[in-house]
Amino acid sequence: MPEFEPMQNMLTELRRGSLTLAVLGSLREPRYGYALLQTLTEQGIDIEANTLYPLLRRLESQELLTSDWDTSENRPRKYYVVSQKGKEALVQLMKEWEHMQRSISAICGKGE
Amino acid sequence: MENTIERYVYDVARRLPEKEREEVKKELRANIYDMLPENASEAEIEKVLYELGSPASLAGKYRQNPRYLISPAYYDEYVSVLKWVLPLVGVIVMVIGFITGTVMALKIDTSKYYLVATKIISQGISMGVSAAFQALIWTTVGFVIAERSGQRAEQSGKHSWRIQDLPEVQKSGQTHIPLSEGVAELVVMTVFSVIGILFCTGRLPFAMAFSEEGLHFTTVFNPDFLVLWIPAILVTFVLGVIVGITKIKDRRWSVPVCVSVVAKSLVSMAMSLYLLNQPNMFSSEFLTFLSNVGVLQALPQVNGKNVLLVVLMVLIVIGTISECVKTVTMTIKNRDK
């Protein structure tokens, strides 16, 4: 845990954009909110519930995700899955991600 | 225990647009229950809710467009306008309040001086404060309207700003005229012209004098002389408005600003000198009063004119010349760069 506060802000800033990528990628198969939170945490993505749930709602309103309420169990759960538009967005974002990773590595140098 | 969750969910949802509330409530409720074990204790519920954060902050994250009364895009301008509008309006109206307070107090009773003083001060302060609040409210309303209409323009795909609106780069010499200067000039011009015309048409009983019976009204100036002032005030007002508008438009010492300032100064100097040379300036009552007190005899005459008048005329000429020289130098400096 960095005790330097601007450092914490920089890390949060850096992660913010990639969260969309992680969420869209994980939702190639349907998941409900809390299950997605656990999946992401297991994969080492540091995201809080109060960030993820509003993000899901935003992505849904942008039609990158579709959702379905499952009422077969005793408690209703909302399942999200990536839409066709979301898949296309994911491909583009991945390209950009790789491009940026190459550029940053080239600029900052590896193992320095 | 369900009550705690319901209260939390409700507190988040009530901060959101109405059409989203039900869906967010349902989602949030499901998510919270998923985060809890079966038959969770009150302590476990509290832990989860604290993890989600305050309802206000969570609602803020749910909101698509953060809503502001006045967004950062307008905030700086809003504060800088308030900084000069509030004191200016407050002080001007307070002075008007002092004057009307004086008039009102004198009409009621002039024998008790402390009552007169209280009336004047309370009238001035209450009018000044309420005018400042009015100014605050209307400035805010104006900016909120700008904020809302600005957002709409952005949504409909237009640019939210224009290249033309970019401010000129300020040069190191102070040749820039702040917006406040032009606006202040317009406001002050209007206020003083209105007061001046009220005074000259006899609607403000300005003049008063002390005598053995206490305060009583006399007219200091001759009414025929005051009538001459009305066209002079109107001409100065029109020229002042032109100066104010060119300053607001150009915001630097441009040629139109220079011409209008010089013209205004010269015209008002000429009119003041003409008016001060009128023979029938003061009312006969006031002249009698002055000679009774002994002021007239004490002051020497220069070329048949009272020395105070001569000094006043010299001051007006010096003031006008220095104003013109300053304006012209500023304009020349501005053109050189």
Let me know whether B82 and B98 are in one domain. Answer: yes
Instruction: Say yes or no: A77 contacts chain B, CB-CB below 8 A.
Output: yes
Instruction: Say yes or no: A35 contacts chain B, CB-CB below 8 A.
Output: yes
Let me know whether B297 and B182 are in one domain. Answer: yes
**pLDDT confidence of A111, banded at 50, 70, 90?**
low
Between residues B288 and B89, the one the model is more confident about = B89
Let me know whether B88 and B145 are in one domain. Answer: yes
Nearest-by-CA chain B residue for A62 = B64
Are residues A97 and A32 in contact, defined by beta-carbon separation less than 8 angstroms? no
Let me know whether B56 and B76 are in one domain. Answer: no
Instruction: Say yes or no: A57 contacts chain B, CB-CB below 8 A.
Output: yes
Instruction: Say yes or no: B54 contacts chain A, CB-CB below 8 A.
Output: no
**pLDDT confidence of B293, banded at 50, 70, 90?**
low
Let me know whether B96 and B224 are in one domain. Answer: no
Which sign does the torsion angle of CA B219, B225, B227, B228 carry? negative
Mean pLDDT of A3-32: 86
- On chain A, the residues whose CB falls within 8 A of the CB of B51 are 48-50
Let me know whether B327 and B237 are in one domain. Answer: yes
Phi-psi group of A66: left, alpha or beta (phi > 0 → left; psi -120 to 50 → alpha; rest → beta): beta
Taking CA atoms, A61 is separated from A92, A97, B22, B318, in Å, by 19, 23, 15, 71
Residue B202 has pLDDT above 80, yes or no: no
Backbone angles phi, psi at B302, to 5 degrees: -120, 120
Among B130, B137, B134, B123, smallest CA distance to B95 is for B123
In a domain, B308, yes or no: yes
Q: What is the reported pLDDT for B216? A: 55
- Reported as a single tens digit per residue, the pLDDT across B32-53 is 998 888 888 888 888 888 888 8
Nearest-by-CA chain B residue for A70 = B30
DSSP labels, A23-68: HHHHTTS-EEHHHHHHHHHHTT----HHHHHHHHHHHHHTTSEEEE
Q: What is the reported pLDDT for B199? A: 74
Let me know whether B116 and B249 are in one domain. Answer: no
Domain count, chain B: 3
Average confidence score pLDDT of chain A: 88
Final residue belonging to a domain, choices B154, B186, B203:
B154
Mean pLDDT of B291-300: 67
Take residue B129 and report the two structure tokens written for it: 């404060």
Taking CA atoms, B239 is separated from A50, A87, A105, B195, B277, in Å, by 62, 67, 66, 17, 23
Reported as half-sphere exposure (CB side, CA atoms, 13 A), residue B236 has a value of: 22
Instruction: Say yes or no: B33 contacts chain A, CB-CB below 8 A.
Output: yes
In a domain, B161, yes or no: no
CA distance A105 to chain B (A): 33
Residue B172 has pLDDT above 60, yes or no: no
Instruction: Say yes or no: A79 contacts chain B, CB-CB below 8 A.
Output: no
Let me know whether B248 and B307 are in one domain. Answer: yes
CA distance B30 to chain A (A): 6
In a domain, B17, yes or no: yes
Query: Whole domain around residue B141: which residue ranges?
Result: 68-154
In a domain, B331, yes or no: yes
Q: Number of A:B CB contacts under 8 A? A: 45
Let me know whether B56 and B95 are in one domain. Answer: no
In a domain, B166, yes or no: no
Let me know whether B21 and B111 are in one domain. Answer: no
In a domain, B171, yes or no: no
In a domain, B322, yes or no: yes
Are residues B327 and B266 in contact, defined by beta-carbon separation less than 8 angstroms? no
Residue A84 has pLDDT above 90, yes or no: yes
- On chain B, the residues whose CB falls within 8 A of the CB of A69 are 26
Mean pLDDT of A71-95: 90
Say yes or no for a CB contact (<8 Å) between B31 and A75.
no
Taking CA atoms, A65 is separated from A28, A62, B27, B31, B159, in Å, by 10, 8, 15, 17, 30
Let me know whether B44 and B113 are in one domain. Answer: no
For B332-335, the CB contacts below 8 A with 24+ separation are B333/B173, B333/B175, B333/B253, B334/B173, B334/B175, B334/B252, B334/B253, B334/B254
Domains (ranges, CATH) in chain A?
Answer: 5-108 (1.10.10.10)
- What type of residue is A57? R
- On chain A, the residues whose CB falls within 8 A of the CB of B61 are 50-51, 54
- Reported as a single tens digit per residue, the pLDDT across A5-15 is 788 888 888 88
Let me know whether B78 and B107 are in one domain. Answer: yes
* Lowest-pLDDT range of B125-129, B147-151, B188-192: B147-151
